[in-house]
Amino acid sequence: MLKVLLCMGFLSSTVLAQGFGGGGFGGGFGGTGFGGQSLDQNVIQSEDCMIVVARSRKVVTGFSNMTGEVDKVEFVEAPEQIIPIIGGEVVCFVNGNEAYGFSATTGKWGKVKIDGDGSDAPILPTLGRNMACFSVGDFAYAFPSDHGKWLKTKIDGDGPHTPVVSGNSVQVWTDKAIYVCSAASQRWQIMER
């Protein structure tokens, strides 16, 4: 349903959780998870935040060590799978055509509707210490922890439109321009090539 080019780059502070749902090693929390280990494996955390996926998978709760507050995302029907990815101050997961980001800075979840291009490719965000990003078709999305809200831009030019987290910013390079979204500016900007 959604076509995406996976974000490149890996930061040692980023942790990818197994999927929350199903069973076995490739399954995840809410099922037998992690190759049949305890059902208590539904928690993922960094120094700045903690995420708990309820065994029902209908509630995902974020806790911020920075604010001391919790915030929840609730679903009427349990998603088939929830794969939270955690950086230092930011957590992200995708459910269908929506992406969710948790900011340890604000202690709140942010949500964005994803404009897809009809493919069924999975969306796997890349995170830095305080930025999450991914691209789908002609759109790029960024979630800075400082801001706690999703920022989206339309990308013009031949791809791949692969976002890369670089410090406190996200970059997307095309044959025509470099698109940059920084935590400081809280917006996308374009540099012609």
- Domains recognised in the chain with CATH numbers: 4-192 (2.40.10.480)
Task: State residue 33's pLDDT score.
Answer: 32
- Note whether 193 and 171 are within 8 A (CB): no
Task: State residue 129's pLDDT score.
Answer: 87
| Burial (0-12, 13-18, 19+ Cβ within 10 Å), 120 | exposed
Q: What is the pTM of this model?
A: 0.79
* pLDDT tens readout for residues 127-158: 888 899 999 888 999 999 998 999 999 998 77
Q: What's the average model confidence in pLDDT over 163-188?
A: 90
Task: State residue 48's pLDDT score.
Answer: 94
- Strand-pair partners of 127: 132
